Amino acid sequence: MKLSKHFIVILTIFITSNMLLEAQVHDMSWRRIIQNDEADWFASQEAKNIAENVLLYQRNIGGWPKNIQMQKPLSKQEKLQLEKLKSSTEDVTTDNNATTQEMLFLSKMYKATADETYKTAFLSGLDYILKAQYPNGGWPQYYPLRKGYYTHITYNDNSMVNILNLLKNLKENTGKYAITPSNETLKKIETAFNKGIDCILKTQYKQNGVLTAWCAQHDAATLEPAKARAYELPSLSGSESAGIVLLLMDIDNPSEAIKTAVNSAVTWFEKVKILGIKQEWVLDAQSKSRNKIIVEDANAEPLWARFMELDDNTPFFCDRDGVKKATIDEIGPERRNGYSWYTENPSKVLKKYPKWKAKYDTSVKKSNTPKNEYNMVVAKDGSGDFTTIQEAMYAAKSFPYQRVIINIKNGVYNEKVHVYSWNTYVSLIGESKENTIITFDDYFGKINLGRNSTFHTSTVLVEGDDFIAKNLTIKNTSGPVGQAVALSVNANRCYFENCTLLGFQDTLYTAGEGFKHYFKDCYIEGTVDFIFGEATVLFDSCTIHSKSNSYITAASTPKGEKFGYVFKNCNLTADANVSEVYLGRPWRLYAKTVFINCNMGNHIRPEGWNNWSKKEAERLTLYAEYNCTGEGFQPEKRVNWSHQLKKSEAKKYTKENILKSNTNNSNSKWYQNL
């Protein structure tokens, strides 16, 4: 077939253009290739060839070594060598963008090709990152740990910030990554992110009692600023601190602790910025090499030193001998020219700060007056009377003569909500249980107020009588870190319907001697003693989900109370790996807990109940069951000090008997018409 000259010209241009395009991409640095947003290119053969290298460099543990130009072609011998290194854990790191950047590349490959190989490798990298986290929330420079400064919590070169930004994008499903982890992994991601932010807050350096900024690395045990290489001494870092603050400013509905951290850091940035100088490169006539110098310039943009003294913020410089110098001119050419001694990054923080402050500054309380003080609306987008639930609580009438209804639009409300004792007859009504979420991450160790810190951790604390909540999710997202309450109810005659309560240890605290609470059609999950307290509570048609081998209840029913915890028509479920759960153990000696007409999964231990090493409790508690079903209901194997109720005894467990008030007043039948 004979081709026309016109067609040959077009074909030649097309082939040449594509060759040039591939050459241009191929000639890019590895970092620029990752940042490439040309979706079609990631489906090209060139991209697949580079992806093959990325997969080869990944170790079996899930991470990658650093400073590898992945796009460079590999010889057969080099590929064989990389295969041999697969099982090695040496040099696997998140330093210098390693691992996080390869994961971003694999995500783009998966989006373009739908090749499951890239997804599997990405998730392996994610698993590596989650495993590498310290219990205190920090990440080391290398994992598995290497001796020396590599074990420090590493903010240097934004290592930990890169990790947290990755986790944040995944948990919020922002679309940056084309791969969605499983629900179980997403829970781990949320826990890891929250722990990481908590670590950041704890490592912010106090200078003479005032919060300032961060060091490039902090000791993994003491959390104090730490030394890395000889010229990287304990100090306050202008560069790394900027990345940390930008991350904190990107958190939606920040806690008061985060706001304080940001405000303090911005104050510090303003205080230590350097004006009137700039960096320049000049050619040395003798060596023909470029040298970095500092020159005066009244119009120069602000600069910040990479290292500043911990006690007074004085900039310093250091060569490989580890001796501090006052100026960069005193540093030898190798370190002077090969290291970033100044940074402009805090300018990004200062540019973003005014808008952030206007959105989240709570130093001046809003004077919003709701249109209807008995029927208020909370909406994150500003379309209601308030944007936070607590603002609505502040505006609610004290001891009102009619019910105050606070309607909450869908959204994630990251805040602690306190319904005060004077906020009686309050209803929190969510738009939907699935999407109206109140969340916070306080836990015992974070609060650190002594032996009773548990009771300060609740996401929602109810102290106003006759409270109602419907169609809400209440979460404590601190993870498996000890006592961390999601909902604390320390009021009388409180009702919860179609609510989800999520946490780990101590999810739900039901307080108040003589108080009555009613939970209907709710989902409650947790680990150790995740339903605990002294109130009389009816759980009606609820799902009670165990996340670990532990105890569902820890009642502390006062002596003389007729009823304690009563579960009727409930479904007891558990995570797949959970197989040894007790129905309850006595927090106090007179604990009462009864299960009636409940379906029990096979995770319930045959003996059913535990005495919490309190022999006397076997005589004084009332632990009983009636007419239950499921593999976990094994009455013949229960401890001999528990009870199987007779039909005549079970008839006493009516809603009215359990919940009626101890006093004959107008509220005695409060549980009706809710």
Q: Can you tell me the distance from the alpha carbon of 232 to that of 235, in angstroms, rounded to the nearest whole number?
A: 8
How distant, in Å, are the alpha carbons of 24, 33, 49, 109, 300 from that of 19?
8, 16, 15, 21, 43
DSSP H helical segments within 410-529, as ranges? Answer: 444-447
Answer whether 537's CB lies under 8 Å from 559's CB: no
Phi, psi of 308 (to 5 degrees): -135, 145
DSSP H helical segments within 396-511, as ranges? Answer: 444-447
DSSP H helical segments within 4-115, as ranges? Answer: 5-26, 30-35, 45-57, 76-84, 100-113
Paired tokens of 563: 């009823």
Q: Can you tell me the distance from the alpha carbon of 324 to that of 327, in angstroms, rounded to the nearest whole number?
A: 9
How distant, in Å, are the alpha carbons of 113, 200, 227, 229 from that of 117?
10, 34, 40, 38
Q: What is the dihedral of CA 369, 356, 139, 188, to 10 degrees?
A: 40
User: Quick one: how far is CA 124 from the chain centroid?
Assistant: 20
HSE of 171, CA atoms in CB hemisphere, 13 A: 21
Residues marked active site are found at 506, 529
DSSP-assigned letter for residue 228: -
Question: Helices 238-249 and 159-171: crossing angle, nearest 10°?
Answer: 10
Phi, psi of 228 (to 5 degrees): -110, -110
Answer whether 103's CB lies under 8 Å from 127's CB: no
Answer whether 341's CB lies under 8 Å from 325's CB: no
Q: Can you tell me the distance from the alpha carbon of 275 to that of 297, in angstroms, rounded to the nearest whole number?
A: 8
Residue indicated by tokens 């006539």:
285
HSE of 242, CA atoms in CB hemisphere, 13 A: 23
Q: Amino acid identity, residue 590?
A: Y
Partners of 280 in the beta sheet? 293
Q: Can you tell me the distance from the alpha carbon of 274 to that of 255, in angstroms, rounded to the nearest whole number?
A: 31
DSSP H helical segments within 114-237, as ranges? Answer: 116-132, 159-171, 183-203
Question: Helices 45-57 and 5-26: crossing angle, nearest 10°?
Answer: 20
Run of H or E including 391: helix 389-395
DSSP-assigned letter for residue 392: H
Cis peptide before 225 (omega within 30 of 0): no
Q: Can you tell me the distance from the alpha carbon of 305 to that of 345, in angstroms, rounded to the nearest whole number?
A: 11
Q: Can you tell me the distance from the alpha carbon of 639 to that of 641, in angstroms, rounded to the nearest whole number?
A: 6
Answer whether 326's CB lies under 8 Å from 223's CB: no
The 3-state secondary structure of 238-261, one letter per residue: HHHHHHHHHHHHCCCCCCHHHHHH
